[in-house]
Each structure stands twice: as C-alpha cells, then as structure tokens.
Amino acid sequence: MNEKKSSFPKAWYPLALSTSLNRGGILRQTAFGVPLVLYRSKRGRVGVMSSTCIHMGADLSRGKVSGERLQCPMHGWEFNTNGKCEHIPSASEIPDRAQQIALYVEEKNGIIFGYLGGQPNASLPDFPAEAYSQTSRITVMDFDTPYQVLASNSYDAQHFSTVHHRPLVGTPKVFVNSPNHYGVSFRASVGGDGYNDRLLRAIGVHEVELLADCYGGNIIVATSDRTSTYIMFATLPVTETSSRIFVLNAITKKRAEKIPTIIRPLIMEITHRLTLAFLHHDIKVVSDLQFKFGILLPEVDEGFMGWMRYWNSLPTATLFDSTLQVDSPPNMAGVHAAD
Ligand code: FES
Ligand SMILES: [Fe+2]
C-alpha cells in the first residue's frame, strides 16, 4: 500500500451528508487523497478512519458494523469509533498499536465533519448566532479542480464583474479576527440578466453588501445583510486536484419570524435555488480550472493574493499525522470558530 501523504491545513472538513449514513451503515469516501471509511454505530455514533486495516490492509468499508464497532472483513478485528481495536477474535491480548488513523468527528447542519490534524484547535465553523436554526437542503457538487479554487472564489474580486455581472462598488475591506480566519466585505451592484438578478431588482435590490468569512482555509460563511441570508460553502480536498463542495443556506431569525411557519420551507427552497443560480456562473468556469499563479496584478488581484497568503500561513497536517489518542472526545467548550 503506497498512499500519498498530501498535506492540507489543519481544519474541519465536510465528509458526507448525515442522511447518507444510517445506523449500521458504512460509507467509503476519499479525502486528502486517502480512502476513508465512515460508519454509524447501532447507537448512532459516527466513526471516521483510514479504510485500510492496520492489520494486513483489508478494506474496512467492506466490513460490517457490529454494535458500536466496525468489523474488518478479513480477520474480524473490531475498531471503535475512535479507531481503537477492541476485539481480536483469535487473540486474547490487543496490542496498543492496533489503532486505526482516525479523525475527530462532529455533525452539524446535516453534515458529518472530520478534523484533520489531531486534536481540534478550533470549534466547527457554523452560521452566526443570529441565524435561524432550520437550514435549507444541502447541495453537493464534485469538481476536477483543487479545492482552493472553490474556497478562494469569494476573494477573487475581478470575477464578480466578469462572471456574475456584479461589479464591485468601492474597495473590498479585509478583516482578520484570528490566524484561522480571513474575512472580506464588499458592495456590488446587481447588473446581471439572469432571473435571480432580475428578481432582486424587481424587489428593489440594486446593490448588495456581502461579507465572506473563511475558516480553516476551506469553509466560507457568506452573509448578505440586504437579504438577511447566509450561505455556507464547505469544501473538501478529495485529492490534491479534485474537490467536493457542500452548499447550504440559512436566514436570520429576524427574517424567519416574519414568515409564517408553514411557508418557511418554501422560502428556504427559493433562497437555496437563488444561491445555486448564482453559483451556476461559477460552475461553468471553475470546472477543470487549474490552480495556477500566472500573472497576478496587485491592484486588482489583491483580495485573492491576500487569501492565498492566509491559506499559506495555516498550519498543515497529513492524514497520517492524525494517529490520535482519541479515547475521550476533545473538550471544545469555550473554543470558537475564529480561535
Ligand atoms: S486485515 Fe483487517 S483484521 Fe486482518
Ligand atoms: Fe463566484
């Protein structure tokens, strides 16, 4: 087995939809260039670990869930959700090194996230506290392009005009709350011919103010004050050159309270569709795009260059640095996404 040791920023990464993993279910998902196995125990806990069995390399995703553990199909070793072997059918002693590489896991907003890099040093990025708890459905898309292309998109000032027909008004403002965070706010005029732009203009929105907060170099929470809407883009490097993005929306509690409960799901669906219509323009151009630094112009590419400096400054890890002592879950109380 010769798995490539690619490194990525230590951060929370989206791995799968919660609904794709029922109790007793097993999923195989390549992430960071390495095959992972996700399983949900009979009591509902999720374990995420290398799919390659530490014993002799069998593929654990071909095994089965046995109570709280995942059983290898080859010799029946059983691993708990922390990747620790707890049962070997033909041996009474279990060596300490019988431990799968495993990730800390959290589920939020319908997504299973794993932390690359051992003990998390930041809590899972989320919508702001002002957001209404009922979020939209989640759209998942795959790209044959490095995940940085997707994660940096909100920082590429030039493309708002050329791709989205939303020329910026004034100069974007950059703000940084912590080493884990990179934020930008800007105003743009709504000038496109697409139905979402026409709809916005029809309801009197001619200019939008957007705020994009990036956490861990891969999860972006965008806020539109004008429409009281949030978008989360959670990106995953499947390999160094391919990626997956999870897109979902929330609205503010204030806005939700003004909408009758019965039509809130419809409003969330419309919000999500408008987001997808906006992203449609990106999808057309970023598919197969390579992440190349050809000629960057400091005057107009500063936002993108700033994001790259931030991304390059993040501490990195490979999945193989993630051999954890994960017997007890980390105490995340008091740790915030921007820490
Ligand atoms: S290869 Fe998995 S238990 Fe032997
Ligand atoms: Fe875009």
Given a cut of 50, whether residue 1 has pLDDT beyond it is: no
338 falls in which pLDDT band (50, 70, 90)? very low
Cα 55 to middle of ligand 2, angstroms: 45
Largest CA distance in the chain: 72
What per-residue confidence (pLDDT) applies to 334?
Answer: 33
Residue 56 CB less than 6 A away from ligand 1: yes
pLDDT digits (tens, 9 = 90+) for 71-114: 999 999 999 999 999 999 999 999 999 999 999 999 999 999 99
pLDDT of residue 58: 97
* Ligand 1 atom at minimal distance to the Cα of residue 58: 1
Element (H, E) at 274: helix 264-286
Q: What is the pLDDT of residues 28-64, one digit of tens each?
A: 999 999 999 999 999 999 999 999 999 999 999 999 9
**Among protein residues, the one whose CA lies closest to atom 4 of ligand 1:** 75
Mean pLDDT of 145-169: 89
Residues in the chain: 339
**28 Cα: distance to centroid of ligand 1 (angstroms):** 17
Listed range (5-19, 22-36, 289-303) with the worst mean pLDDT: 289-303
Q: What is the average per-residue pLDDT within 149-172? A: 88
7-116, CATH topology level: Rieske Iron-sulfur Protein (2.102.10)
Query: Which atom of ligand 1 lies closest to the CA of 75?
Result: 3
Query: Is the Cβ atom of 87 under 6 angstroms away from ligand 1?
Result: no
Q: What percent of the chain has pLDDT over 70?
A: 93
Read off the tokens for 111.
């997504």
75 lines ligand 1 (CB under 6 A): yes
160 pLDDT more than 50: yes
DSSP, residue by residue, 169-235: EEEEEEE-SSTTEEEEEEEEE----SHHHHHHHHTT--EEEEEEEEETTTEEEEEETTTTEEEEEEE
- Most informative mutation of 49, 51, 52, 53 for ligand 1 (most atoms within 8 A of CB): 53
The rounded mean pLDDT for the chain is: 89
Establish whether residue 53 lines the binding site of ligand 1, counting it when its CB lies within 6 angstroms of any ligand atom.
yes
Q: Where are the domains of the chain?
A: 7-116, 139-313
Beta bridge partners, 220, equal 214, 233
pLDDT at 323 over 60: no
Starting from the CA of residue 163, give the closest ligand.
2
CA of residue 160 to ligand 2 center, whole Å: 6
Any idea what DSSP says for residue 123?
A: P
Q: What is the pLDDT of residues 198-226, one digit of tens each?
A: 887 888 888 888 999 999 999 999 998 87
Q: Do domains 7-116 and 139-313 have the same CATH topology?
A: no
* Single pTM value for the model: 0.91
57 CA: nearest ligand 1 atom: 1
Q: What is the pLDDT of residues 231-249, one digit of tens each?
A: 999 999 999 999 999 999 9
In CATH terms, 139-313 corresponds, of 3.90.380.10, 3.40.50.920, 3.40.50.880, 3.30.70.270, to 3.90.380.10
**Among 320, 25, 308, 326, which residue's Cα sits nearest to residue 149?**
308
Distance 77 CA to ligand 1 centre (A): 6
E-strand ranges in 229-315 read 229-237, 243-251
User: How many angstroms does the Cα of residue 299 sit away from the middle of ligand 1?
Assistant: 57
